[in-house]
Structure 1
């Protein structure tokens, strides 16, 4: 799918969360100084979002398939990606299924399964756009001429339909094993984690021992969970993820185009939004945790 917007893409000045401007009286400020002022706060916030919240949907992003128009429709929403960026979609947006299927027919790996339906998943991807053009000097020194330059950065999200079902990478693998949650699906990794955690879990007999086990697993997981590019020297290397950091919104299983008497419509077997990660506010989490301690009810 092509980007939804015609504006020029931009890179946000949010690379270093640990360097800010040291201003003093009479200091001459240039573009790099202003980027340091703005980028420091941006980078701090994203470092927090990435490590303490992670990627997931905050609200919205409902998915439907409209048969007659052959479109996947996504409602407005807000999400965070693995790089700590906010993805905001302000309006109802659509993906053209007829165009998407035409693109897939050119790929050998999907050509043979299109007639019987194909599995795909919808993702949201962060995008920053340049907006609000204003007159600008061609040079910071001569002041001889003026051209148009953009004066605003707009943060938004664009949507893509990706072939195949989505996958989910879990973090804190020891904690997940301690609580009986599924692992990574990689046998070697999951076996190593189970050999470490299962004996510990078998020794837990009361609440204090359980708390100790949780603390130990969390500590070991946090030691392992470090940025792969920590020594690369730029702020993006401090993030837990890299690349486009797509946010999965849901799976479309058995997606196909059906032609009857010359009319082509879209059809889908199942729309599965349970495959997405959703952020739950802390007040609700506190209530859920409290309910779980009630002897005659709760999780």
Structure 2
């Protein structure tokens, strides 16, 4: 039996399901189609309509004496639409990680010592579990061996050198609402040439016409942004040809700036300048979004004015 317990979800095709009929013989491929169809549908919905981000939890702290990054339990969705669940408090050994990744780390000299930056990500992982007796082949006299009978979805944590870089989606809508762009000067300039006249037209419209003009600008920007969106890899595997992300589709949990290891009297401790979880993307439930939108629609900033 293969000792590798990593597994791949049978979620390749959200548009093909099983057409069962009376007396039909079902094999492994048929059962994978039954299970994988629903899995693939959920992934397709999550990836395109929600995107990668943290749903709850995943608090981050640095414990000096143990030289560990500690991450609390949490739930997230990655760029391929998979749910990442971390059920228990988990730790990453900073000293061991630095030893293994020193060539990839950019050190800075400070009065306190050499410091570096990193960020924490969660990555989807599926593991095989619950071994049971299994038939190798009816043609081999029904010899039995053990095979895993369950797939368990979880998340693994990784430290990545340098600070994280946020991915910007829907650049025209962001420009229309005055949010920062992609950071690509050429791309942002092109977006500005499209969007800035729409924004100016809405701002200069008569008060009675402004809602309709603004709504038209929103619809145009949304339409053009969705026209530009594409799956990440048309030659991808496991359904990624249909999805906006690509492996490993990590979910950023936060940045650690000014990390350093200090050794005094043979004891090494870890210190961090700042833990910044605002660099992650967070999912907000729809009820709260409706309330925020309603408050934002009130003149002069809503109920807080």
CA drift of 1:111 comes to 6.4
Matched, 1:273 2:268: no
SS at match of 2:297: coil
**Structure-1 residue corresponding to 2:99:** 102
Unaligned segments of structure 2, at least 5 residues: none
Alpha-carbon spacing, 1:219–1:244, altered in 2? closer, same or farther (3 Å): same
**Structure-1 residue corresponding to 2:72:** 75
Alignment of 1:16-27 (within 5 A): 16-27=13-24
CA drift of 1:230 comes to 4.2
Cα deviation digits, residues 227-268 of structure 1 (max 9, x gap)? 143477973200001110000000000011111222211000
Match of 1:261 among 239, 253, 265: 265
**Structure-2 residue corresponding to 1:53:** 50
Distance 2:15 2:169 in 1: 25
Alpha-carbon spacing, 1:160–1:228, altered in 2? closer, same or farther (3 Å): closer
Cα deviation digits, residues 197-234 of structure 1 (max 9, x gap)? 11111111211100000000000111111214347797
Alpha-carbon spacing, 1:233–1:130, altered in 2? closer, same or farther (3 Å): closer
Distance 1:27 1:135 in 2: 25
Alignment of 1:1-299 (within 5 A): 8-105=5-102, 107=103, 109-110=104-105, 112-113=107-108, 115-204=113-202, 205=205, 206-230=210-234, 235-298=239-302
Alpha-carbon spacing, 1:231–1:74, altered in 2? closer, same or farther (3 Å): closer
SS at match of 1:57: strand
Q: Is the 8 A contact 1:104 1:111 kept in 2?
A: no
Unaligned segments of structure 1, at least 5 residues: 1-5
Give the CA RMSD over aligned residues.
1.7
CA drift of 1:57 comes to 0.1
SS at match of 2:38: helix
TM-score by length of 1: 0.93
SS at match of 2:299: coil
**Greater CA drift, 287-296 or 179-188:** 287-296
TM-score by length of 2: 0.92
**Greater CA drift, 289-298 or 255-264:** 289-298
CA drift of 1:148 comes to 0.5
Distance 1:280 1:63 in 2: 19
Cα deviation digits, residues 174-199 of structure 1 (max 9, x gap)? 10110111111111111111111111
